[in-house]
Amino acid sequence: MTAPKQKKLRIASAFSGGFGSLNFALKYENIPHEEIFAVEWMKPQRECYELNHGKPTHGFYEDIRGFDGTPFKGIIDLYHLSPVCTEFSMAGNRGGLNTLEGNLMFESIRSIDEVQPRIFTVENVAALTSSNGGEDWKEVLKAFRSLKGYSISWGKMNAKHYGGIQNRHRIFIVGFRADCQMMPFPQRVKRQYKLADFLEDEVDEKYYLSEKMLKNFYRKDEDKSISLSFKPLGRDSEISNCITARYQKCGIGDPYIKEELIQVGNIYTKGHNSLWGRVYDTDGIAPTQNAHGGGAGAKTWLFKVIKSNGKSNIRKLTPRECSRVQGDFEDMYKFDGFSDTKKYELIGNAIEINTMRHLIKRVLDFSKDLEWNEPQKPTFKQSAKVEQLNLFGETA
């Protein structure tokens, strides 16, 4: 007797980006699903998203601010949102909720109130809890808890604790359209891999620093060997900073970074540990990937690697290696046709897949025996009017 066919999970997403971590998490976990709709501002992101996951049943909506979720009332099982987070990031603008970008959090809550999904998940930077001295977090929690018929849980997760090869610290807010206790967040698991396990065998020379550039950074020791000009740091840890799309989101100053990166040197010789000259060991984990950074280590940072000829050299990560840092260990992610700069941006903005896998498994398991409340009439009111401006520096 054949087992009954598993019912497809009806999902939707907003601020979907060009990666689709929720979709990848479901694929890696072999959970059948159908995407009903998605919301994404930028055209290249929408194109890459469809390249990887197909077109949502009801297509893409371009702007969360004009999105009307009421036609989907009560038909979505899982709705995921990742509002723009630069206004809350420790190294970002720190403008908080009283900005156009910050107010997109309230637009997200409004859309949840209209869609009335059984479950919603919202992801943001962990620094949201300390934005504006903690006052913004109080307002955000108050707004989520005002949603009628929902029970709210929240917690922080770090990719390094869930099988990831990256130090990516994020906060997740989970809502169940049911009367229930707070959901315990997933227990940590032991990390099994390091960056070296996911490096490509053949790498184009364009990712390596040229000999001309290197000769200005190396020094000759008495034994004629070549070494980095910066004094190596300790090798007692293996975790990196988070992978991200922009320097403003990289989380510089996070104590995890200082304690757990394996930095082996710095190519700059001016007596300080220059941010963009840092070189890392691939026996550790990759630090933050940046789509818009500058200097020799722009976008991916620098790594000391052994080439096929046995020589040590320094290079960036390739886009494929960056997608692996984001948890795409089986190279499912497709990005042909996009420039390297765009690839780094698409990947850097994503949620680390292992983190999402553990969260979704816990959410679905927790929800098995819940008695769902009936969809409510939307009642959420925003605290401020959002102007119709281009927030992202790029037209749709």
pLDDT in the model for residue 389: 38
- What is the model's pLDDT at position 99? 61
pLDDT at 95: 54
The answer to whether residues 121 and 80 touch, using CB atoms and an 8 Å cutoff, is yes
Domain annotation for the chain: domains and CATH numbers = 9-190+351-366 (3.40.50.150), 195-343 (3.90.120.10)
Per-residue pLDDT, 251: 37
What parts of the chain have a pLDDT lower than 50? 87-94, 220-227, 229-259, 385-396
Q: What are the tens digits of pLDDT across the range 37-63?
A: 999 999 999 999 999 999 999 999 999
pLDDT value, residue 207: 93
pTM: 0.84
pLDDT at residue number 309: 79
Residue 235, pLDDT score: 38
Residue (of 17, 30, 22) closest to 76 by Cα position: 22
